Chains A and B, each alone.
Chain A
Amino acid sequence: MAEKTVVRQVTIAGRPFVLRSDEVVRALREIDPEPITRHFVVVGTRRFPPKQVVGEVTGLDRADFTTHQARRTLIRLGFSAGRRAAATSNPRSTVVPGPGMVADPLALRLRDFIGKWVAIKDDDVIHASDSPYELVGWLGRHGQKADSMLRVPDDELSATGLAPL
């Protein structure tokens, strides 16, 4: 998440815009993130396709700009960007990071989602929700299938799974 407000004048699809990072965060607050195909940006604790974010904050048709333009614009506003790991035979593999990219191991990235329900696919968090019902609803709405679903432990009891005898 952008920690302090960053303001940038940008030109996208031939049109000038003044974008503020805090307005991007506010605009996306109630928006359901779409599935990530390859690139993403982190807004708050959630990941969005860059084109979805720029489309939402500018009102432009997504066909009018590229993922690369959207990603570059959002990085300049202070947001972290990343790329989903390609599906490989080794689920622990990660992509070598480029500038401004996130490349932490999954377990460290899960720290951003403590207490949340997460859907994991190809060693990446594809969606996080406050409830398992919302999470499964999102998967169904977007035609997604997760590899795994769990709630990221927020205390010792949830982490140890103390079992009844």
Chain B
Amino acid sequence: MRFSFRELPDPASDMVRARPIVDVVVEGLEIAPQACLLDSGATAVRLGSHVAELCGVDLSEAPEKRLAVGGGLVRARMAEVSLLVNDGSESYAWTTPVWFCDPWVPSFGLLGLTGFFDHFVVTIASYEEWIELTPVG
């Protein structure tokens, strides 16, 4: 599956910034796929806790930990959810632990090592601004 980088306005200038962002369908929230940044520096898949609420995931008994994000602490709770990516001609679905964080400052979800990079061989062609995902196995 191949995806073009997503261009977003740069809040610090008049320029736009192209980023390796793909849209991920979270089961239960099919009407609003979540823009997510490929982030090999993150250890796991992380989304805002609003996503769990919107797709009906109950986090009341979920495993919980505190994470430092951008100098502040966030509450992160984990649930197994089904995710799907689709490039218009192919799609791939998988189930994985996702950490739902509150508060959540980033504009998009983060796709980290466990739960995303361990499901795909990932090619990021930054110069040409595209991403290729090949499911593992």
Answer whether A161 and B23 are a contact pair too, CB < 8 Å, given A146-B32, A148-B35: no
Closest to B40 in A: A163
Check if A136 sits within 8 Å of B29, measured CB to CB. yes
Residues of A within 8 A of B21 (CB): 150
Q: Size class of B's contact patch?
A: 35 or more
* Cα–Cα distance between A40 and B128 once the two chains are bound (Å): 33
Inter-chain CB contacts under 8 Å: number = 113
User: How many angstroms between the C-alpha atoms of A144 and B33 in the bound complex?
Assistant: 12
Pairs of residues from A and B, 3 with the lowest C-beta to C-beta distance, nearest first = A161-B106, A107-B7, A163-B42
Interfacial residues, chain B to chain A (CB-CB below 8 A): 4, 6-12, 16-17, 21, 23, 29-35, 37, 39, 41-43, 46, 48, 50-51, 53-54, 67-70, 74, 76, 88, 105-108, 110, 112
21 A-B pairs (CB sep. < 8 Å): A107-B16, A110-B9, A119-B32, A132-B48, A135-B32, A136-B31, A144-B31, A147-B23, A148-B23, A148-B35, A150-B108, A152-B9, A153-B8, A159-B107, A161-B37, A161-B39, A162-B70, A163-B69, A163-B112, A164-B43, A165-B42
